[in-house]
Amino acid sequence: MSNYPTLTEMGINNPGEIERYSLNTVNNLDIIRVIYKRKKGSLLPASKRFEFGRASRTIMADSGTQETDIVHDISPFVQKAITELDHILDSKKSSIEQGKLIKDELQRLHQEMSSRMAYIESLLDDLK
């Protein structure tokens, strides 16, 4: 079973390759465009586009005049897909941030060790 059932249902089989996505609404149609980071030479598409219609419902705009408006709601399916996409991208971002923190710490340790070694070498030079 997939960790991302909505994306699997949409035909997204490699969620780890998702680099980013966009969500646009045009004429009561929600359009999700998923952009992938593919390996060089991959024959798979660099992006996929998914279109979802919005459900329309009538609401009372003014109860005094019995005036109504039609409202178009985003699909619960689209909301689930966006939640899953955000989860994928947030976990990638935190991994990248974690890697950057480790790299910064390693660089700081290198500088500190170089400084200490230079100090010890200067002490040895003074003894000669």
The ranges assigned to domains in the chain are 5-101
Beta carbons within 8 Å of 55's beta carbon, 6+ residues apart? 72, 73, 75
pLDDT in tens, 99-115: 887 888 889 889 989 99
Residue 1's pLDDT band (boundaries 50, 70, 90)? Answer: low
Mean pLDDT of the region 124-128? 82
Average pLDDT taken over every residue of the chain: 88
For 90, other C-beta atoms within 10 Å of its C-beta total: 10
pTM: predicted TM-score of the whole model, two decimal places: 0.67
Query: Which candidate, 34, 29, 45, 26, places its Cα nearest to that of 8?
Result: 34
pLDDT of 73 above 60 = yes
Residue 84's pLDDT band (boundaries 50, 70, 90)? Answer: very high
Q: Which two tokens stand for residue 121?
A: 């070498």
